[in-house]
Chain A
Amino acid sequence: MLSYTEKIREIAGRLLQSGAVEMVIGFRAGTVPMMNEPHFAKTPADVQKLVWDSHCGINLANYLTDRKEKIGVLAKGCDSRNIVTHIIENKIKREQLVIIGVPCKGMVDKRKIAMKAETEITEVIEAETTITAKGHGFSKTFEKKDVLQHNCSLCIHRNPVIHDEMVAPPVVEQQGVDRYADVRSIAAMTPEQRWKYFEDLLAPCIRCYACRNACPLCYCPTCFVDESRPQWVGKSLDPSDVRTFHFLRAYHCAGRCTDCGACERACPVGINMRTFTKKLEQDCLDLFGWEVGLDPEVRPPLDVYRPQDPNDFIK
């Protein structure tokens, strides 16, 4: 993936110069190890700052919402599916976009690496399939596939589903991935155990809403947790309020979530809130045969009525 950088700069420079777009949204090198910052390029100097490596996990579709310009945007598999969703939901017009597809090999989870490091990591060096973390007096090399974000290790749509340019030939998609082992392990619990499981999961939450804000789907002008007339949820750290936020947010993402992992990645306290959305994702697959964001022409299942929709739950 490292070789993508040059190609990205070439495409971005060309698009800007020809006036096809006013800005190109990508990443620039971060100021701390294993972080890159979303960045817009408008000038040749900005273009030279664009980079690509295994730390570009932030979902760039989030930066397109309601923009009016003509934009070139870098898109991994998951970003491209969120762009499709944005187009379906009228958050951006297809004509405004030049989608620069980036065949993805999975993004690295910096927490996994940090947990396996003896001290603070001060430098990370990436090769094609490995990544080496260095700190004061230690150096450790990991196989990338062992330290991917959990959602990336389960990803079956690494190639952009929609694109105008590609920075490289498509990668081979992962086959035979068991995407829902986590959901099954919860389904095997008793109701009490489940309640407890989610209670423990959410205990560290500080309600910063980074998970919501990192999510391209969460673009409501006023989120239900921020409404004050009427006020739906309390604002303290009360566990029932925290849980209300999380499960309702998950419902709002039903049939829309691409499992890009932006929420988990953003959480400052490391909560795996994908545990909520995965269940809904699986339900959409089982009940409606739905995989989100593959085609801008198909309305999502919760958007349309079909006579064969399952309705056994209604008595």
Chain B
Amino acid sequence: MEHMGIEPGRLQFSWISSAESTKFVEVVTQVTAAIKALGPNSNFAKKMAEVA
């Protein structure tokens, strides 16, 4: 995805066990903060269908 121009950091992966509630909260907080910092995604957002 980054290779084709999605900003670094917009796509993130985590492995969280169902028992790791604290880690879950931490990760969600971090990810939301990181994504908010990147701003709204303009690249893959489809507007109303563009037709030729």
Contact = CB atoms under 8 A, between A and B. Distances in A.
Contact of B50 (A186, A239, A244, A276): A239
A191 B46 contact: no
B12 A315 contact: yes
Nearest to A279: B3
Contacts of A135: none
B49 interface: yes
B27 A315 contact: yes
Size category of the A interface is 20 to 34
A238 B50 contact: yes
A164 interface: no
A314 interface: yes
Nearest to B45: A240
A191 B51 contact: no
A269 interface: no
B14 interface: yes
26 contacts: A183-B3, A186-B3, A187-B3, A191-B6, A191-B8, A194-B4, A195-B4, A198-B4, A234-B46, A237-B51, A238-B46, A238-B49, A238-B51, A240-B44, A240-B45, A240-B46, A241-B46, A241-B49, A243-B44, A247-B1, A247-B4, A276-B4, A313-B13, A314-B14, A314-B15, A315-B14
**Interface range on chain B (Cβ under 8 Å from partner):** 20 to 34
Given A313-B13, A314-B13, A196 B49 contact: no
Interface of A: 183, 186-187, 191-198, 234, 236-241, 243-244, 247, 276, 279, 313-315
B2 interface: yes
B43 interface: yes
Contact of A191 (B5, B15, B52): B5
A244 B44 CA distance: 9
A197 B43 CA distance: 13
A236 B50 contact: yes
Interface in B30-52: 43-46, 49-52
Contact of B49 (A183, A197, A234, A313): A234
Nearest to A187: B3
A195 B43 contact: yes
A237 B3 contact: no
A92 B51 CA distance: 41
Contacts of A243: 4, 44
A237 B46 CA distance: 12
A191 B38 CA distance: 13
Given A234-B46, A238-B49, A241-B46, A315 B3 contact: no
A186 B7 CA distance: 14
